[in-house]
């Protein structure tokens, strides 16, 4: 009997050619390490640095579904992690460096599938947040999480890392270099994994806990999504956050009835809701 072929595991960084910030982050990565050439992907050059492959796609990130499947076919290696290098855009034009999980708690206005979340990468993503805080020290940017939002759709653990929010920041090579340094030294945290509920789009309360306490966040469902989505979205957040044991609910941003629904749902899924005092301080933690 033939043995089943099991693809090797690889981490993939994905740049998008139409995205200026993404191109600058790619350039910084290539400048800061000794990459070797890899077989082309999507008819574009690709590079390898040990277990990391850097590829470029010709279209915007948000609408390129099933990229992990295509990467596995191209390289015979199943992605254990996909990280999208991206610009960030916001109406407030806040100067920011962000990381966030992806998927659509409700509608799919910007790629992906409506009401479907993509597997998160809690320990890697929280490590990236902390690394960005270190590497961007002295730069005029806020470093923060964003809540789970937008496409594309994948079946591999994924997060976005972004710089923004205007063309001025997208062109900032220092910000791109900070992102590149954070990614080149990235290793997953050994912290307990949690999902986050409540808060605004930038979920700053969860950001602060991730920096100051021993916790790694996967999916982050903000108040505005929880108010519109069916309760089953909580099940998805738990199912698509590997090794999740905990949840933090930002109660002040949610109505009492909704808090009760969320906490009862989490309890039924075997997830423990914690408060800040339940979480040990991170040794050497940076305070906000």
What predicted TM-score, i.e. pTM, was given to this entire model?
0.95
Pick the CATH number of 193-277 from 3.40.50.300, 3.30.1490.100, 3.40.50.1820, 3.40.50.10700: 3.40.50.10700
Sign of CA dihedral 84, 87, 93, 95: positive
Listed residue (157, 162, 159, 158) closest to 144, CA to CA: 162
pLDDT at res. 92 = 87
The CATH class of the 8-184 domain is: alpha beta
- d(C-alpha 122, C-alpha 206), whole Å: 12
CATH 3.40.50.10700, the chain: domain bounds: 193-277
Report residue 122: phi and psi, to 5°.
Answer: -55, -50
Res 8: pLDDT? 57
Token couple for 174: 């220092």
Q: Find tokens 């999740």 and name the residue.
A: 244
* Rounded-to-integer distance, Cα 196 and Cα 189, Å: 17
What is the full DSSP assignment across the chain?
-PPPP-PEEEEEEEEETT-HHHHHHHHHHHHHS--EEEEEETTEEEEEETTEEEEEESS-GGG-TTHHHHHHHHHSEEEEEEEEEEEEE-TT---EEEEE--B-SS--TTSS-TT-BPPP-HHHHHHHHHHHHHHTTTSS-EEEE--S------SS-EEEEEEEESHHHHT-HHHHHHHHHHHHT-----SPEEEEE-S-TT-HHHHHHHHHBS-EEEEEE-HHHHTTS-THHHHHHHHTSTTEEEEEE-GGGS-HHHHHHHHHHHHHTT-EEE-GGGSPBPTTPPP-
Distance CA 170, CA 33 (A): 22
Residue 2 confidence (pLDDT):
40
From the list 124, 280, 274, the residue with the least C-alpha distance to 190 is 124
d(CA 52, CA 32): 14
d(CA 235, CA 121): 17
Token pair for residue 211? 């920096």
pLDDT by residue, tens only, the chain of 288 residues: 343 434 457 999 999 999 999 999 999 999 999 999 999 999 999 999 999 999 999 999 999 999 999 999 999 988 999 999 999 998 888 999 999 999 999 999 999 999 999 999 999 999 999 999 999 999 999 999 999 999 999 999 999 999 999 999 999 999 999 999 999 999 999 999 999 999 999 999 999 999 999 999 999 999 999 999 999 999 999 999 999 999 999 999 999 999 999 999 999 999 999 999 999 998 765 544
């Amino acid at each position: 009997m033939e043995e089943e072929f099991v693809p090797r595991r690889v981490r993939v960084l994905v740049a998008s050619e139409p995205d200026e910030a993404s191109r600058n982050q790619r350039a910084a990565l290539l400048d800061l390490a000794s990459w070797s050439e890899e077989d082309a992907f999507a008819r574009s050059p690709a590079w390898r640095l040990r277990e990391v492959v850097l590829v470029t796609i010709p279209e915007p990130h948000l609408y390129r579904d099933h990229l992990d499947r295509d990467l596995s076919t191209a390289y015979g290696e199943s992605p254990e992690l996909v990280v999208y290098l991206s610009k960030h855009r916001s109406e407030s034009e806040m100067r920011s460096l962000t990381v966030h999980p992806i998927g659509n708690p409700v509608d799919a206005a910007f790629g992906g599938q409506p009401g479907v979340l993509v597997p998160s990468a809690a320990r890697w993503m929280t490590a990236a947040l902390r690394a960005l805080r270190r590497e961007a020290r002295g730069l005029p940017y806020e470093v923060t999480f964003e809540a789970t939002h937008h496409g594309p759709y994948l079946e591999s653990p994924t997060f976005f890392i972004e710089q923004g929010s205007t063309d001025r920041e997208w062109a900032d090579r220092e910000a791109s270099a900070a992102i590149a340094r954070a990614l080149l030294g990235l290793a997953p945290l050994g912290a307990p994994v949690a999902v986050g509920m409540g808060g605004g789009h930038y979920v700053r309360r969860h950001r602060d806990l991730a920096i100051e306490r021993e916790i790694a966040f996967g999916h982050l469902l903000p108040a505005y999504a929880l108010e519109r989505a069916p309760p089953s979205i909580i099940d998805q957040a738990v199912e698509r956050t590997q090794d999740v044991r905990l949840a933090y609910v930002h109660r002040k941003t949610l109505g009492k009835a909704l808090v009760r629904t969320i906490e009862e749902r989490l309890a039924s899924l075997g997830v423990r809701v914690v408060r800040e005092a339940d979480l040990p301080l991170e040794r050497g933690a940076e305070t906000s």
